[in-house]
């Protein structure tokens, strides 16, 4: 079964072709970072308009790369939520129209389930059950995963997601959007002994996160440096290092706690922040001590992409799920509402 996947939940237009027998055949991604950077964040109307411009050319590109025609496609999967409602509508409308015109089924896919299953695109895949850390600009969650669709939320951010906290810390330092990569680059030159930022909520029981206090601590540190004189480039590097290590340290502690609580030895990490090299190295080192393993997608599949939507859609389409009725998108959509699947297709 050949699935066309379309991702348009926020500021990236992703398209991919996934075959349940042959794997990922082709994929393409267009990032809107250059459009939104001058505003310091995503402008929903601009995001929707750019998805309209880019989606069809990317579909044509991917089909040409895979050397396939419309007659080869068996179904179309698209992101139905969560996300920006206008951006979701663009993808859903286009996907449903293509599926209707080609005479094939379509299916709306949960964006975070796509992220959660993205490591399944790799040759070395995790086995169920496992704990998943979903960490991105919009979500920070720990989820127990017993099978596709069998999800139990263990903990989540009570305020900003980790990626959003990176963006806001970067803004305090005068860095462009998106902040995560810029913070990471500065952190490499930072002095690890100069600042020690707090690890939020690690000294209390539970698996929830909070990054609001860390943001305030970061802002106070920036202001203290300015009060003592000019905020130097080295000041920025040292603050970036302390901030990144605080976020990474918090995530590592919570992941280890979740694995111990659930009696599991496998962690899956996905979402844009999962591309952070410090986070990957720290998790691998910590879990090695616990005789546990961490799996994550290739860097190109950490951010939003069509491949994860095509793969997640393939699993549910193979289980007989299809769109019913009109084009419905869900800007808010708890993963716990998804029905389970007992068998993985490809």
The answer on whether 180 is annotated among ligand-binding residues is yes
Residue that has been written with the tokens 């991917």 in this structure: 62
Indicate the range of 176-185, 250-259, 336-345 predicted with least confidence. 336-345
DSSP code of 157?
A: B
| C-alpha 227 chain-centroid distance | 37
Nearest CA to 58 out of 14, 8, 104 is that of 14
Where does 2-117+301-337 sit in CATH, by number? 3.30.420.40
**Average pLDDT estimate for 217-241:** 96
The answer on whether 50 is annotated among ligand-binding residues is no
Look up the CATH architecture of domain 128-296: 2-Layer Sandwich (3.30)
The answer on whether 134 is annotated among ligand-binding residues is yes
131-141 confidence digits (pLDDT tens): 999 998 888 99
Query: Following CA atoms 290, 122, 262, 258 in sequence, which dihedral angle do they give, to the nearest 10 degrees?
Result: 70
Task: Give the 3-state secondary structure of residue 315.
Answer: helix
Tokens, residue 24: 């990922």
The answer on whether 167 is annotated among ligand-binding residues is yes
DSSP string, 101-147: HHT--EEEEEHHHHHHHGGGGSSSPPPSSEEEEEESSS-EEEEEEEE
**Average pLDDT estimate for 248-272:** 97
Tell me the CA distances in angstroms from 83 to 66, 89, 237, one per residue in order: 28, 10, 33
Residue that has been written with the tokens 């299916």 in this structure: 107
The answer to whether 314 and 3 have CB atoms below 8 angstroms apart is yes
Tell me the CA distances in angstroms from 241 to 50, 57, 68, one per residue in order: 35, 40, 47
The answer on whether 304 is annotated among ligand-binding residues is yes
Please give the Cα distance from 72 to 70 (Å, whole number).
5
The answer on whether 110 is annotated among ligand-binding residues is no
Q: Residue 23: CB partners within 8 Å, gap ≥ 6?
A: 121, 346
The answer on whether 283 is annotated among ligand-binding residues is no
Query: Which pLDDT value is given to residue 327?
Result: 66
Please give the Cα distance from 287 to 304 (Å, whole number).
26
DSSP string, 246-301: HHHHHHHHHHHHHHHHHT--EEEEESGGGG-HHHHHHHHHHHHHTT-EEE---GGG
36-81 confidence digits (pLDDT tens): 999 989 999 999 999 999 999 999 999 999 999 999 999 999 999 9
- Does residue 3 register a pLDDT over 70? yes
> Of all helices (H) and strands (E), which one includes residue 245?
helix 233-262
Beta strands 150-156 and 140-147, pairing class: antiparallel
**Average pLDDT estimate for 92-99:** 97
Nearest CA to 55 out of 17, 95, 82, 111 is that of 95
Average pLDDT taken over every residue of the chain: 95
Query: Which pLDDT value is given to residue 33?
Result: 92
The answer on whether 106 is annotated among ligand-binding residues is no
- Residue intervals in the chain for CATH 3.30.420.40: 2-117+301-337, 128-296
Tokens, residue 166: 């990176």
DSSP code of 344?
A: -
Tokens, residue 108: 């709306």
The answer on whether 138 is annotated among ligand-binding residues is yes
Nearest CA to 16 out of 321, 301, 272 is that of 301
| C-alpha 34 chain-centroid distance | 19
The answer on whether 34 is annotated among ligand-binding residues is no
The answer on whether 146 is annotated among ligand-binding residues is no
Query: Which pLDDT value is given to residue 328?
Result: 83
Please give the Cα distance from 316 to 314 (Å, whole number).
6
């Amino acid at each position: 079964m050949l699935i066309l996947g379309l991702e348009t939940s926020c500021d990236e237009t992703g398209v991919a072709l996934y075959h349940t027998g042959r794997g990922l055949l082709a994929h393409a991604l267009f990032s809107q970072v250059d459009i939104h950077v001058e505003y310091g964040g995503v402008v929903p109307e601009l995001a929707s308009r750019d998805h309209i411009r880019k989606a069809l050319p990317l579909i044509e590109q991917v089909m040409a790369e895979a050397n396939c025609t419309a007659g080869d496609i068996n179904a179309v999967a698209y992101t139905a939520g969560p996300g920006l409602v206008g951006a979701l509508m663009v993808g859903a409308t286009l996907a449903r129209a293509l599926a209707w015109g080609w005479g094939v089924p379509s299916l709306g896919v949960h964006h975070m389930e796509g992220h959660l299953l993205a490591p399944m695109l790799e040759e070395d895949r995790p086995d169920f059950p496992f704990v998943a850390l979903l960490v991105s600009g919009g979500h920070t969650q720990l989820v127990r995963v017993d099978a596709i669709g069998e999800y139990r939320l263990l903990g989540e951010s009570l305020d900003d997601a980790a990626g959003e906290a990176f963006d806001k810390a970067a803004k305090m330092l005068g860095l462009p959007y998106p902040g995560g990569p810029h913070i990471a680059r500065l952190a490499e030159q930072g002095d690890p002994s100069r600042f020690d930022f707090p690890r939020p909520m690690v000294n209390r029981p539970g698996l929830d996160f909070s990054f609001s206090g860390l943001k305030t601590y970061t802002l106070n540190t920036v202001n203290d440096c300015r009060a003592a004189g000019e905020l130097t480039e080295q000041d920025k590097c040292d603050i970036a290092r302390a901030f990144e290590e605080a976020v990474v340290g918090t995530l590592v502690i919570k992941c280890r706690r979740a694995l111990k609580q659930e009696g599991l030895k496998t962690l899956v990490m996905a979402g844009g922040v999962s591309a952070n090299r410090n986070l990957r190295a720290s998790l691998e080192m910590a879990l090695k001590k616990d005789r546990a393993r961490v799996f994550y997608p290739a860097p190109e599949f950490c951010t939003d992409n069509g491949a994860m939507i095509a793969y997640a859609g393939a699993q549910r389409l193979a289980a007989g799920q299809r769109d019913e009725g009109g084009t419905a998108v869900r800007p808010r959509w708890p993963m716990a509402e998804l029905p389970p699947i007992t068998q993985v297709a490809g």
